[in-house]
Amino acid sequence: MYNVVPDMDGMLPFLRQTRIFIFACAVVVFAILVAFAPSLSHPFMSDDYHVLAALSSQPWDLRFFFTGNGNYMIPVTKLFWVVQFALFGTEAQGYHLFSLLLHLANTALVALFFARLFKSKWSGLLTGAFFALSASHWRTAMWMSAQMKMLAAFFLLIALLSFLSFLRTGERRYLIATLIAQIGMPFSSALGIELPFVLALLFLFLRKTDQKRIRVPVRPIWRTLGSLIGICLVYVVLQRILYAHANAFLLSGQGLKAGLLNLLMAGRWLFAGLFEGFGHSMTGFFIGANPAIFSLHAAAVPASVRFIPLGLLLILLLLPKRQGWWKMALLLAAWTVLLYAPPILPDLSQGFTTDWFVTRARYFYVPAIPVAALLTLLLTFVRLPKKRPVRRAALVVILALFGAGVLLGNLRHIAALESTASDFTKGFARARDAYVQDLRSLLGNTWGTRVVTITDVPLGQTTGFDYAGHNVLPSHLAQIYLSRDERSSFRFLPGGVPADYEVTGFGTLWPPVDGRRF
């Protein structure tokens, strides 16, 4: 509830009413559903087919969970996928529903944690709204293979909440929850190496600003953080042993050196992706680069809010703030860097370009949490004049318009991007279905008589829907939609090698299946 009420809340006593707060929560949930529920009708896209192919063709044993395909050891996420596959098979709607529910859960945890950190339930709710409706999340929330980033955010927030409760109460159950979250975060997404440092910064911040409420001696706290680092080292060792084949360059001395030398480049990417807010750098689109001056996490500016002056953000930064705001700002900025830098080291070491990297919106899902809180901090920690009611009221209106502009701009941009993505994913799904239908027709002619060869080249380029299937091969779809016995009738050959059939731009096989060769 209310521990400390921000300055602006004193002007609006009705905000203290529980029913008003519940109504505001319902509005945020409704806005999230309006923004992301359309993704429930989307087919699978891109890397989703790789995940489904592995789930369909490999036994769910220890090898699958701890080695298997992919570049990282993520047994928790694989278990999450196995549960969904057992429930929904190849029906995309079920997976998208899980993603939406996970995003809603993360939003609730963001609101709860920052309500405690800011000591204001309204500030927590505003942070949750900024996070939930970030335009960077529309693709992550609809992309099954991006669930690993959402799980990483879930375990991060559980760790922050439980560690904060442990510091303030000293109860061991919260410490156990923190340890479980530390295990879950790296084993779900290959993130989490930075979590002990995130928690250490939280402890140091509270020690400087709210030391009276810390009930745990300093030494046990540092021992706890040391044990968390030990868990991280165990993960690193297992990753190095079990996945050395997939990360040979990164795990080499040369790869690590290249990654560290490119950290300055990573800082430039972070600034471009989170603060400058170009549309393509946060959404996965290479079309349209509308700068978003109203959001710290990249929402394109719709026409409806372009009346806000360009200098409003600068004015917001320069407005006088309440005492101690800069300490919180430094904490949030440090968290943003910590949650952004480690996941991109593999890309940095391999020298990927800015255009390749910043289009991966999933990388910004976790660091968007402290960025949303930083935006809330700038809005709610403004020191309002008490003796000048007209100026005070005008400032409150301006701040409210700024926050509303960010949220409305994000909503509109998400809708536009979702509509465009729908055309690509549904177009690729039509080509996919035509291809699978031709495979089944071939089975009726060739079952048990011969093995048919098919050229195995990326279908995204072939069909013209590269956005939705740029790395999907015909062999992947065969693994997903055909049984093991049915797949034995086909052999897939690399491009350039003569084969019986190849896939056309419509997804059908060429030569046509009906009435030929057999």
pLDDT digits (tens, 9 = 90+) for 436-477: 999 988 887 766 678 889 998 888 888 888 778 878 899 999
- pLDDT of 243 reads 65
Beta bridge partners of 94: none
Residues whose CB falls within 8 Å of the CB of residue 115, separated by 6 or more in sequence, listed in order: 121, 123, 124, 125
206-231 per-position pLDDT tens digit:
998 888 888 888 899 999 999 999 98
pLDDT of residue 277: 35
Q: pLDDT band at residue 75, thresholds of 50, 70 and 90? A: confident
pLDDT of residue 302 exceeding 60, the answer is: no
Quick one: average pLDDT of 126-152?
85
CA atoms of 307 and 316, how far apart (whole Å): 16
Collect all residues with Cβ–Cβ distance below 8 Å to 339 and sequence separation of at least 6.
156, 191, 194, 198, 366, 367, 369, 370
pLDDT tens track for 379-435? 888 877 777 777 777 777 777 777 787 787 778 777 877 777 888 888 889 999 999
| Model pLDDT, residue 348 | 58
Higher pLDDT, 292 or 189: 189
340 and 266 Cβ atoms separated by less than 8 Å = yes
| 8 Å CB contact between 392 and 385 | yes
Distance between CA atoms of residues 267 and 275, nearest Å: 11
Average pLDDT of span 269-273: 56
Whole-number mean pLDDT of the chain? 78
User: Coil, strand or helix: which one is 445?
Assistant: helix
What mean pLDDT comes out for the span 63-77? 75
CA–CA distance, 179 with 159 (Å, rounded to integer): 8
* Residue with more model confidence, 127 or 291: 127
| pLDDT value of position 343 | 67
pLDDT band at 261 (very low <50, low <70, confident <90, very high): low
Q: Are 189 and 74 in contact, with CB atoms under 8 Å apart?
A: yes
Token output for 341:
């830098």
